[in-house]
């Protein structure tokens, strides 16, 4: 059974609340740049916040805010979170203006340095005070960056989790699992950025989805009730006949969710997005696959959106919360407490309860299923199996007939794909060699 909270079934047009993404520090600014270039800025406010004026002037973000002009004189925080925090307090009024009226504030940055570690907790507080839902999407430093940066990151994470409704973290060390061995530095960082960008985009889709089954911002609140600081997040897409099962499997394997046990989470939201070709059995398949991962007591919220831009792709996003942070906080024996928190629906202002940002079509560009597939899938073959390179090789009719006979005895085995070509199909057919 899939329990569906009543509130998700609300229908009708609602006034839009602004979603505001704030990139803090160099890493955050880079991410905001990436989102801006991908065209996400049309429906979302993207703000770059940094102590370093050089980085900020190089950014393409529409809104930029240099903090700590007095404290750091625009030279950056030099890896000192104290400076970062001071700089932020100095710019409190400007920041309050930025988050004013925003229904959802997403903070992103790389912890471990000065600016993000120092500023993010303060900004999270400011945003929470403005009655916004605050979600922080943060990266943790590489372990080789040293213990000091790791400690700064953990401290900052702890501070942020007191004010933010949800914290989604991504350990840079996990990059190893995404990037191929000996992959270039640039590729590895690009992969990491892509994951964050995908996660953000999926999050936006989740709150902006057009229905028929919706999740409002208010529905997300119980997911991140006090005590839960580490949200788990996975998203993936798939095409083809078995797309529902494939997408959910990939989503569960995606880097932020892998090796984490969903059974420890008592609230799980899952969001399915597809074109109007979406069938009920597919929703059912996704739900059943997820339910198998959950404990008996956990609650599963379902959201379904129809987006006809997606063609054959089905996207599944899983957001799980409600369990204590497995690593840092437990290790320190501290239970995070929330200072300002819209912790349940009643205390949450009505206009936010019914408010939704408009659907964000342009988001599709940064979460285009191709990128998602390749990134999140660890199976080299199945990645390519769905890659558009192969599909676009031939007109659809021909592909169908080829697949039916041409793979012959290899039909049931894993395809051998090199450079986007299915080598199981006879060479003479692929190269169109005339036999007679």
Partner 1 sequence: MPKDRLLIGLEIGTTKVCAVVAEIRPDGSLRIRGVGESKSAGIRKGEIVDFAKATQCVRDALADAEEKADVEISSVWASVTGGHIQSFNNRGMTQIPQDRGEIDEDDIRDVENSAREVNIPDQNAFIHTMIQHYFVDNQDGVLNPIGMLGNKLEADFHIVHGIKTRIQNTLRCISDVDVDVEDVVLNSVASAQVVLDQHQKDLGAIVMDIGGGTTDYLVYEGGVIRHTGVLAIGGDHITNDISIGLRIPIARAERLKIDEGSCEIESVMPGETIILKNDLGFSGCEVERSVLNRIIYARIRELFELVEKDITAHCEIHLVGSGVVLTGGCCQLTGIHEVARDVFQLPVRSAAAQEVAGPTSVFQNPQYATAIGVVKYAQLMDVTTERRTLFGGLGRRIEGLFKAFRIL
Q: Which residues here bind partner 1, judged by CB under 8 A?
A: 175-177, 179-182, 258, 378, 380-381, 405-410, 412-414, 416, 418, 423-424, 426-429, 431, 433, 435-436
Closer residue to partner 1 in complex, CB, 4/190: 190
Give dist(CA 275, CA 69) in Å, integer.
Answer: 48
Coil, helix or strand for 337?
A: coil
Minimum distance between the CB of residue 416 and partner 1, rounded to whole angstroms?
A: 4
Closer residue to partner 1 in complex, CB, 276/427: 427
Quickly count: other Cβ atoms within 10 Å of residue 94's Cβ: 14
Minimum distance between the CB of residue 55 and partner 1, rounded to whole angstroms?
A: 28
As to burial, measured by CB atoms within 10 angstroms (0-12 exposed, 13-18 middle, 19+ buried), residue 279 is exposed
Task: Find the Cα–Cα–Cα–Cα dihedral 215, 11, 39, 220, rounded to 10°.
Answer: -20
Closer residue to partner 1 in complex, CB, 82/173: 173
| CB within 8 Å of 346: residues ≥ 6 apart | none
**Per-position b or e across 392-414, b if 16+ CB within 10 A of its CB:** eeeeeeebeebeeebbeeeeeee
Closer residue to partner 1 in complex, CB, 276/413: 413
Closer residue to partner 1 in complex, CB, 115/174: 174
Specify whether the CB–CB gap between 209 and 196 falls below 8 A.
no
Minimum distance between the CB of residue 141 and partner 1, rounded to whole angstroms?
A: 16
Closer residue to partner 1 in complex, CB, 97/405: 405
Minimum distance between the CB of residue 433 and partner 1, rounded to whole angstroms?
A: 5
Minimum distance between the CB of residue 188 and partner 1, rounded to whole angstroms?
A: 9
Minimum distance between the CB of residue 385 and partner 1, rounded to whole angstroms?
A: 13
Minimum distance between the CB of residue 394 and partner 1, rounded to whole angstroms?
A: 16
- The dihedrals phi and psi of 31, each to the nearest 5 degrees, come to -70, -45
Closer residue to partner 1 in complex, CB, 57/180: 180
As to burial, measured by CB atoms within 10 angstroms (0-12 exposed, 13-18 middle, 19+ buried), residue 123 is buried
Closer residue to partner 1 in complex, CB, 55/382: 382
Specify whether the CB–CB gap between 276 and 305 falls below 8 A.
no
Minimum distance between the CB of residue 422 and partner 1, rounded to whole angstroms?
A: 11
Minimum distance between the CB of residue 279 and partner 1, rounded to whole angstroms?
A: 30
Closer residue to partner 1 in complex, CB, 93/182: 182
Closer residue to partner 1 in complex, CB, 50/254: 254
Task: Find the Cα–Cα–Cα–Cα dihedral 276, 314, 138, 115, rounded to 10°.
Answer: -60
**Per-position b or e across 42-63, b if 16+ CB within 10 A of its CB:** ebbbbbbbbbbbebbeebebeb
| CB within 8 Å of 387: residues ≥ 6 apart | 370, 373, 374, 420
Specify whether the CB–CB gap between 243 and 313 falls below 8 A.
yes
Q: By C-alpha distance, which of 63, 69, 140 is closest to 102?
A: 63
Quick one: which H or E segment has residue 106? strand 102-110
Give dist(CA 32, CA 26) in Å, integer.
Answer: 10
Closer residue to partner 1 in complex, CB, 297/427: 427
Coil, helix or strand for 196?
A: helix
Map tokens 């991908």 to a residue: 38
Specify whether the CB–CB gap between 228 and 322 falls below 8 A.
yes
Minimum distance between the CB of residue 329 and partner 1, rounded to whole angstroms?
A: 25
Quick one: which H or E segment has residue 135? strand 133-140
Minimum distance between the CB of residue 12 and partner 1, rounded to whole angstroms?
A: 45
Minimum distance between the CB of residue 167 and partner 1, rounded to whole angstroms?
A: 24
Closer residue to partner 1 in complex, CB, 193/312: 193
């Amino acid at each position: 059974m899939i329990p569906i909270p009543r509130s998700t079934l609300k229908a009708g047009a609602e006034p839009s609340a602004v979603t505001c993404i704030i990139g803090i520090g160099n890493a955050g600014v880079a991410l905001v740049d990436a989102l801006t270039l991908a065209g996400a800025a049309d429906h979302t406010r993207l703000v770059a916040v940094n102590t370093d004026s050089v980085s900020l002037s190089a950014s393409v973000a529409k809104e930029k805010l240099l903090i700590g002009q007095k404290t750091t004189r625009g030279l950056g925080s030099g890896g000192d979170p104290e400076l970062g925090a001071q700089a932020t307090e100095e710019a409190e009024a400007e920041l309050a203006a930025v988050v004013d009226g925003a229904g959802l504030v997403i903070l992103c940055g790389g912890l471990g340095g000065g600016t993000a570690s120092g500023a993010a907790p303060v900004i999270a507080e400011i945003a929470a005070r403005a009655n916004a839902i605050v979600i922080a999407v943060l990266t943790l430093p590489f372990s080789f960056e040293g213990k000091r940066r790791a400690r700064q990151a953990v401290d900052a994470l702890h501070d942020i989790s007191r004010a933010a409704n949800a914290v989604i973290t991504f350990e840079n060390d996990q990059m190893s699992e995404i990037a191929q061995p000996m992959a270039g530095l640039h590729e590895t960082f690009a992969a990491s950025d892509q994951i964050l960008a995908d996660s953000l985009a999926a999050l936006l889709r989740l709150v902006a989805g057009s229905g028929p089954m919706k999740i409002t911002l208010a529905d997300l609140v119980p997911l991140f009730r006090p005590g839960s600081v580490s949200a788990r997040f996975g998203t993936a897409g798939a095409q083809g006949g078995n797309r529902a099962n494939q997408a959910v499997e990939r989503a569960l394997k995606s880097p932020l969710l892998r090796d984490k046990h969903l059974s420890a989470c008592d609230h799980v939201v899952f969001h399915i997005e597809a074109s109007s070709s979406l069938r009920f059995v597919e929703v059912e398949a996704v739900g059943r696959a997820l339910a198998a991962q959950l404990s008996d007591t956990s609650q599963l919220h379902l959201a379904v959106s129809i987006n006809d831009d997606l063609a054959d792709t089905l996207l599944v996003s899983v957001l799980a919360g409600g369990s204590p942070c497995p690593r840092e906080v437990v290790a320190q024996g501290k239970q995070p407490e929330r200072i300002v928190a819209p912790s349940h629906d009643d205390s949450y202002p009505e206009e936010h309860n019914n408010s939704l940002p408009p659907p964000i079509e342009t988001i599709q560009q940064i979460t285009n299923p191709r990128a998602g597939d390749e990134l999140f899938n660890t199976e080299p073959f199945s990645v390519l199996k769905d890659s558009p390179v192969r599909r676009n090789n031939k007109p659809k009719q021909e592909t169908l007939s080829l697949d039916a006979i041409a793979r012959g005895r290899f039909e049931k085995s894993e395809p051998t794909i090199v450079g986007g070509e299915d080598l199981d199909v006879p060479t003479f057919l692929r190269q169109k060699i005339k036999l007679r």
